[in-house]
Amino acid sequence: MARYQQVIKLREQGMTQNAIAQQIGISLQTVQRWLAAGAFPESTRHRYVSQLDPYLPYLFQRWAQGCHNIAQLFRELAVQGYQGSYASVRDNIVRRLQFDGRKTPAGPSSKAPPLPTPRQAAFLFLRRPEKLRIEEQERLMATFGEYCPFAKRKIKYHCFYTFLRFIRKLG
């Protein structure tokens, strides 16, 4: 909703649709659709309901009681009538209950943003810097600092990018 309001405000200031899309970091098609609608388009998506959803309160309760053995929790759910897969239980527990994959919860002193996945890191590293949004540039620098993450020696990022531009021109 905030981005929609930002789109409207920037359009009233006379910005082009392309400029709005680039500044906010959304696609041109989204800007065009929002402006054509005249009002914030309400989402018509329906919430996905899995077989595990009715058993989630029980899982949360058992987890809070200290049972962190996924196989045991799966067996308990099967006794209660759960017919889904072990993988579904495991994935939900890892996603919802295991502190985002960490062994312990993040304390208030942990303010570092999470590291990007390898795919996200490659995307950030190989994308043209002028096409990166401000948040992506900050994440790139926070992740890689001023050094290339793929080399042992201290190769500066801009040197690597210069080489990458050269390779792109050849192709």
* The overall pTM is greater than 0.75: no
* Average pLDDT of the residues of the chain: 75
Query: Residue 156: beta bridge partners?
Result: 147
DSSP per-residue string spanning 63-75? HHTT---HHHHHH
> pLDDT tens across 36-54, in order?
887 777 665 666 778 888 8
HSE toward the beta carbon, residue 33, CA cutoff 13 A: 8
* Nearest alpha carbon to residue 17 among 38, 42, 35, 3: 35
